[in-house]
């Protein structure tokens, strides 16, 4: 646990007692704070009470009397579309509002660091798509290289549940816009911006507010190195704001598909090859085509970001390449589930929006596509560039027929259930094709979350692999 500093003897309120909220409450108490906590749901309140925390409805009059600061869990809005009533009351009283990420950055460095030969470092990754894979890939490469490294944030453990890093230790954080928008301290050593596409717009008051939330990771403390994906206008703008000139190597620009000019530090993937250039000369290269854990252009974009971040910590290109080859990918994100009869079966249940699903479709030439679910705003029109890769769609979800109508020019079977979709897709798939779950929709019409949906897909696939033969990958 990382004990929160500067709170001894102070009364601190914690709103929301999920994973991050409860770990924040524990870390605050360990730092000597008097903690008062609340969650609108009974079960989390009871769990916190069993650990000895004072439970108090923070929305009641005078509940915030004497409170020094309010710590808010990521899912609780503080500005758009409307602030939570407790947050609004705290702001009205002049009480600072923070989250566990802010507490982490203000509490990480301790007196023990003066005895270290190499100070610990933090690599923080944000963006719309690919940040989980990028974070996990950085963690994997550093671990394979023998570094003392931990992974936390929006993936894995809560940030305050981490062990205090030792001499030369590295902490890799995946940070969502919900986490970066509110943290009062953001001081990573290396900050990574993968890409930007429209998401969470209600929460941030539009695309500009969403980008501003991501941008705070780079503007609040100023990282020593910034790795910026420049495939979108926002990334190019951010790189330009951070750089002092074309040769400023504090900014590493990355791209999948573009050729980047200029004398600066860049990492680019094109036609399956990653290339690192500095001062106009190539200094490193990796053939990504045979790395099974990183299929498709979207994963090559992730590879560029992870490569650049690892280079910023001093790793050599060959060391990074070895780490790439042993990376198996994350569950539900371009996860290879099995190969049978020349057919590859891939679980990308995390592709819950059109942009993520399009990237998955562009990764393979001939696809038996399992899709559908709770359709998001904006429709399916932006899937058009990937639809020529689809041999046939197998649509699931309660509104499968309506979803299928949006797949212009694609043969579609209305399957409704995962079992029926997997049965049909695997029976009809030919050698060289890919059976791909990339729903382009939320899961909540049939499943609690995208993980449950992906697990169901894997279960259905392996039931048939067991019957028909083939090679199943480890989940």
In whole angstroms, what is the distance from residue 101 CA to residue 271 CA? 38
Contact predicate 222/230, CB 8 Å = no
Contact 77, 200 (CB under 8 A): no
Q: What is the per-residue burial (b if ≥16 Cβ within 10 Å, else e) of 129-144?
A: bbbbbbbbbbbbbbbb
Tokens of 472: 């199943």
Q: Which one is catalytic: 56, 200, 292, 376?
A: 200
Residue of 131, 139, 298, 300 marked catalytic: 131
Q: Find out whether 256 is annotated in a ligand binding site.
A: no
| 131 marked as part of a ligand binding site | yes
Q: Is the peptide bond before 40 cis (omega within 30 degrees of 0)?
A: no
Round to whole Å and give the CA distance between 294 and 41. Answer: 39
HSE-CB for 116 with a 13 A CA cutoff: 15
Q: Is 128 annotated as a binding residue?
A: yes
| Tokens at 111, concatenated | 């007196």
- Determine phi and psi for 385, rounding to 5 degrees: -60, -25
- Indicate the pairing of strand 170-174 with strand 149-153: parallel
135 labeled part of a ligand binding site? no
Reading the block at residue 329, the tokens are: 């990918």
Q: CA-to-CA distance for 101 and 163, rounded, in angstroms?
A: 15
Omega within 30 of 0 (cis) for the link into 410? no
Task: Say whether 154 is catalytic.
Answer: yes
* 359 labelled binding-site residue: no
133 is annotated as contributing to ligand binding = yes
Is 131 considered catalytic here?
yes
Catalytic one of 84, 154, 299, 353:
154
Rounded CA-CA distance 368/96 in Å is 52
- Annotated ligand binding at 129? The verdict is yes
Catalytic residue numbers, as ranges: 131, 154, 200
Residues belonging to the binding site are 127-133
Residues belonging to the binding site for ATP are 127-133
């Amino acid at each position: 646990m990382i004990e929160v500093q500067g709170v001894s003897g102070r009364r601190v309120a914690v709103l929301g007692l999920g994973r991050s909220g409860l770990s924040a409450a524990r870390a605050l108490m360990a730092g000597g704070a008097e903690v008062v906590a609340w969650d609108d749901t009974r079960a989390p309140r009871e769990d916190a009470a069993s650990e000895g925390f004072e439970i108090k409805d923070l929305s009641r009059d005078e509940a915030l009397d004497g409170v020094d600061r309010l710590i808010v869990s990521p899912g609780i809005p503080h500005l758009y579309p409307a602030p939570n009533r407790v947050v609004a009351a705290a702001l009205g009283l002049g009480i600072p509002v923070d989250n566990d990420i802010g507490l982490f950055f203000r509490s990480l460095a301790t007196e023990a660091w003066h005895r270290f030969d190499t100070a610990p470092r933090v690599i923080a990754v944000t963006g719309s798509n690919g940040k989980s894979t990028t974070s996990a890939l950085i963690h994997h490469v550093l671990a394979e290289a023998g570094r003392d490294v931990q992974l936390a944030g929006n993936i894995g453990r809560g940030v305050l549940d981490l062990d205090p890093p030792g001499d030369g230790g590295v902490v890799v954080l995946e940070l969502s816009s919900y986490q970066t928008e509110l943290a009062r301290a953001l001081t990573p050593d290396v900050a990574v911006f993968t890409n930007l596409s429209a998401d969470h717009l209600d929460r941030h008051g539009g695309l500009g507010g969403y980008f501003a939330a991501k941008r705070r990771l780079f503007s609040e403390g100023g990282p020593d190195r910034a790795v910026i994906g420049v495939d979108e206008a926002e990334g190019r703008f951010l790189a330009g704001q951070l750089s002092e000139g074309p040769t400023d190597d504090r900014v590493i620009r990355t791209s999948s598909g573009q050729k980047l000019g200029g004398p600066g530090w860049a990492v680019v993937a094109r036609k399956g090859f990653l290339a690192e250039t500095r001062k106009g000369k190539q200094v490193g290269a990796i053939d990504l085509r045979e790395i099974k854990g990183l299929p498709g252009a979207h994963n090559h974009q992730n590879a560029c970001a992870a490569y650049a971040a690892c280079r910023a910590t001093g790793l050599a290109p060959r060391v990074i390449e070895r780490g790439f080859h042993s990376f198996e990918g994350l569950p539900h994100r371009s996860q290879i589930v099995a190969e049978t009869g020349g057919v590859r079966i891939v679980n990308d249940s995390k592709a819950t929006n059109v942009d993520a699903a399009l990237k998955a479709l562009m990764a393979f030439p001939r696809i038996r596509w399992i899709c559908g679910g709770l359709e998001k705003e904006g429709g399916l029109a932006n899937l058009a560039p990937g639809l020529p890769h689809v041999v046939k769609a197998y649509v699931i979800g309660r509104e499968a027929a309506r979803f299928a109508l949006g797949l212009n020019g694609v043969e579609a079977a209305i399957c409704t259930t995962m079992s029926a979709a997997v049965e049909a897709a695997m029976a009809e798939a030919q050698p060289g094709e890919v059976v791909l779950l990339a729903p382009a929709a939320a899961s909540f019409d049939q499943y609690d979350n995208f993980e449950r949906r992906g697990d169901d897909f894997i279960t259905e696939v392996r039931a048939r692999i067991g019957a028909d033969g083939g090679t199943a990958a480890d989940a």
